[in-house]
Amino acid sequence: MNTKKPAAEAQSQLLEVSQESALTQKLRRTIAWNLVHSTIHNSRFRFGLVLLLSVIFWVAVFCLFYESFVFIDSMHAEVMSLLFNTFFSALMAMMIFSTGILMYGGLYRSEESKFLLTCPLRAEAIHAHKFIEALWFSSWGFILLGSPMLIAYGIVRNAPWSFFAMLLPFMVAFVFIPATLGSILCMLVVAGLPRLRLHAFSVLFVSAMFTAIWLAWSTFGSTQSQALTPAWFEETLSRLAMTEQVFLPSWWLSSGLLDAALRNESRELTAQSTFEALKFLGLIIANAMLLSLMASWVARWTYRKGYSNLEAEIPCKRQRQILWLDELLAYGGTKDGNPIRLLLVKDLQVFRRDATQWSQFVIFFGLLALYFYNLQSFDYSNAYASLIGHLNLAVVGLIFSTFTTRFVFPSISLEGRRFWILGLLPIHRDQIIWAKFLFSFGGGLIPCLGLIVLSDSMLGLEQKTICVHLACCVALCGGLSGIAVGMGACMPDFRESSPAKIAAGFGGTVSLVLSALFIIFVVITVGLTSHLNLLRNAGERLPDYPILSLIGGSGGVAASLVIIITSGLLATFLPIFLGIRAFRHLEP
Amino acid sequence: MIQFENATRNYGKKVAVSGLDLTVPSGELFALLGPNGAGKTTTIKMLVGLLRPSHGVVRVCGHDLITETRSAHSRLGYVPDEPYLYDKLTGHEFLRFIAGMYRIPKHLTQLHIDREITRFELQEFADDLAENYSLGMRQRLIFAAAFLHDPDVLVLDEPMVGLDPRSVRIVKDLLKEKTAEGMTVFMSTHTLAMAEEMADRMGIMIEGKIHFLGTVSELREQVDVETKSLENLYLKITSIPSADQINSPDKK
């Protein structure tokens, strides 16, 4: 029986393009409103903290750029153009990749897209809906970093009001260009190379990483002149000139902003510069619109087909044999596996197979290692090297704390969701907590110690200072792991299945704040005594306070170490003790 | 209303559904049965447009799912095995979104929403965010959304999972009522009792091919087993020895 309705009638039941757009816009608005509303009502503390930290960050970045522009303003105007071009071209490259990756997740791997594909929506409408989401996620960093920078530049240059009025249109129009390019790239790769998708992405990613490292090294690292000298600046700036290509949207943005910020003596000349800026803005908007149109075409012709091809792919089979390392960890030295060791191996396997976890671990620690390695390019005084060494210790702690908060803290809640399995196993609940702690502590300690040794060696610090830093690093790893595991057990969230959402909840925020406070305490305690001791040994005169002489002595350093070790033990075992107590009485 | 014409879908070298020829006419409730990995989900995915057939055609109300995707989708309601809801929307807001998507006229939108809210007894939680719903609540809301635009074809994938007995009864009665009015229902399930009670016709799929197509009584006539329960018939046709066969004296 053919019950096909006449084409006109069937068409009348379908939404027009503008109606689809209005519908998805309304959906996003409603979701955003409900999200803000529920966050303000349910997580005021978190909301306030995020807002406060964002404001502090914005003001700090503004002050930093303001001072930098005051310094640079005295130099040739060419420098500004080079810096803007470098900044925006680097951002453009990063946004192409970040949007591409976000679009892949949003279009092809999300439950929402699966749902929308079964609805009578155009492929272009689904693409546009997911694109706005990806655009927001990939560009908020640019807005947060770019807005204080450009406002500071405008103030320093005494730019006309039109510069400030044009900032937002310039930034919004610009982000569309790399974002649409990333989106188009993503859809073409999925549609054209379904079988080679992973390899294509891997090759692109690795190539981009190597290119970025090579560019950074060839620009900043391999200069002939001594670092941070005028000659070094000259040489570096001449190498940055490669970013000034007239066909790059980053050049249009830089040129437009520089023209908009010009305030000439005569009104006519200022108006002429503003007009030039408007032409660049028009150029960026026109290209953004053309690329959006192209992305829409690509979505129309490839999205559903690409989705279907991906759905039909066979997931790769995992190897059955246990790796020798797993076997060694689980059974080495015993006949039967110890429950804690078996849980550890299970977490290790999950970590290995969760690309989000290990890739972030590799990227963050890899970038830190790269930065630490490049510290040798610079020439420091002892006092400077000591200060940087302590700051690097804080950075390692902060990076590790993001991992403990993002991945270790939610692991107790996620384990709780499987409580009916774990609860039936012949293991004590305490062992789950200890296994989580050992996994975090053991997994974080080796890379963190390695980074500290690398940093201190490149800075040429004394062995005594290196040993102090290593002791602090052990205390930090123990304390941060203890806080994440203990708080995770004290404040679990069994309703939520997403680790990111668990980490972003109240418990996760408290854990992050406690971790940050602990890091600050450790670094300030050891940093102050070690630094003062270094200055004193170097024969420098300390400010005339008896307390400074006291803590700057050898006894002060030893006392700080005792304090660090004690606080490390306290930060490790107190949260775990509280966590175990809460976990024992848990009824999921 | 639903037509599979030589529909084939491969996963690499593996053929998940092979040359499926099946027509489900208007007003029929068709149940697709089969063991895990038989190709039921692939068939459903082709029917709702998530997978394109490697060969052949799938049509809904005469509309080809590839060339007239939106027209086909506008006639379709779909209840997946794992329902998707926007966590930050209330049930009411979600139904409004669905009404907008299927272009239900504004003056009828609230009427349709109220009708489904009453039918699936959603009143108590329709204004709560979906993130607070239990599995059963989510499933009821998905049913309400699927029925909201009075689809001509309803596709159900394991529809009763998570529903309480009262909700199961509501759904069963509604399906009977709607099929009597001409709606086509295509249901994939492992619940044999449900298929036996509800289906006008059933298909048993094994390794991507329909091995039996017909009514339960036709199945009883065709398959030779001692106890003619649907379970035994199903196990026989899918070649798994049943409890009867294992325990029968001649086997010993």
Nearest CA in chain B to A303: B50
pLDDT reported for residue A213: 66
Residues of chain B with pLDDT under 50: 241-252
Distance from CA of B164 to the nearest CA of A (A): 21
Chain B residue numbers with beta carbons less than 8 Å from the beta carbon of A34 are 88-90, 93, 129
Q: Which residue has the tokens 């959006």?
A: A292
Distance from CA of A504 to the nearest CA of B (A): 16
As a whole number of angstroms, the distance between CA A191 and CA A300 comes to 12
As a whole number of angstroms, the distance between CA A558 and CA A126 comes to 62
Judged on CB neighbours under 10 Å (0-12, 13-18, 19+), A68 is middle
Nearest CA in chain A to B155: A118
As a whole number of angstroms, the distance between CA A308 and CA A191 comes to 9
Own/partner pairs, A370-374, CB within 8 angstroms, 24+ separation: A370/A213, A372/A451, A372/A454, A372/A455, A372/A458, A373/A454, A373/A458, A374/A217, A374/A220, A374/A221, A374/A458
Which of A35, A121, A307 shows the shortest C-beta gap to B101? Answer: A121
Note whether B101 contacts A35, CB cutoff 8 Å.
no
Note whether A26 contacts B86, CB cutoff 8 Å.
no
Partnered with residue B186 across adjacent β-strands are B30, B155
Give the closest residue to A468 by CA, choosing from A568, A383, A390.
A390
DSSP code at position A301: H
Within 19-78 of B, beta carbons closer than 8 Å to A belong to: 25-26, 45, 48-52, 54, 61-63, 68-71, 73-74, 76, 78
Note whether A26 contacts B100, CB cutoff 8 Å.
yes
Note whether B84 contacts A112, CB cutoff 8 Å.
yes
As a whole number of angstroms, the distance between CA A365 and CA A343 comes to 25
As a whole number of angstroms, the distance between CA A477 and CA A472 comes to 9
Nearest CA in chain A to B42: A312
- The SS3 assignment for A300 reads helix
Which of A3, A111, A122 shows the shortest C-beta gap to B26? Answer: A3
pLDDT reported for residue B248: 43
ipTM exceeding 0.90?
A: yes
The set of residues, in sequence order, having a beta carbon less than 8 Å from that of A10 and lying 6+ positions away, is A4, B63, B68, B71, B74
Identify each DSSP E strand in A14-69 by its residue range: none
Q: What sign does the dihedral A518-A519-A521-A525 (CA atoms) show?
A: positive
Which of A31, A120, A308 shows the shortest C-beta gap to B102? Answer: A120
Give the closest residue to A281 by CA, choosing from A182, A376, A170.
A170
pLDDT reported for residue A50: 77
The letter for the amino acid at A154 is G
Chain A residue numbers with beta carbons less than 8 Å from the beta carbon of B51 are 308, 311-312
Distance from CA of B94 to the nearest CA of A (A): 9
Mean pLDDT (10-residue bins), chain A, 588 residues: 52 80 94 89 77 88 89 69 86 87 89 94 95 88 87 91 93 95 92 66 68 64 57 66 79 92 80 91 96 96 93 66 70 72 81 76 83 76 83 92 89 73 71 90 92 91 89 95 92 76 79 91 89 77 70 80 93 93 76
As a whole number of angstroms, the distance between CA A412 and CA A489 comes to 6
Chain B residue numbers with beta carbons less than 8 Å from the beta carbon of A30 are 88-89, 93, 97
Largest CA distance in chain A: 99
Chain B touched by A197 (CB under 8 Å): no
Backbone angles phi, psi at A379, to 5 degrees: -115, 120
Within 88-117 of B, beta carbons closer than 8 Å to A belong to: 88-90, 93, 97, 100-103
Chain A residue numbers with beta carbons less than 8 Å from the beta carbon of B54 are 312
Nearest CA in chain B to A17: B101
The set of residues, in sequence order, having a beta carbon less than 8 Å from that of A470 and lying 6+ positions away, is A449, A452, A453
Chain B residue numbers with beta carbons less than 8 Å from the beta carbon of A122 are 70
As a whole number of angstroms, the distance between CA B37 and CA A257 comes to 60
Chain A residue numbers with beta carbons less than 8 Å from the beta carbon of B97 are 23, 26-27, 30
H-helix or E-strand spanning residue B214: strand B209-214
As a whole number of angstroms, the distance between CA A573 and CA A265 comes to 68
Structure tokens at A163: 């510069």
Note whether A23 contacts B1, CB cutoff 8 Å.
no
Distance from CA of B50 to the nearest CA of A (A): 6
Which of A118, A304, A313 shows the shortest C-beta gap to B78? Answer: A118
Structure tokens at A111: 């439950």
Partnered with residue B79 across adjacent β-strands are B156
Quote the radius of gyration of chain B (alpha carbons, Å). 19
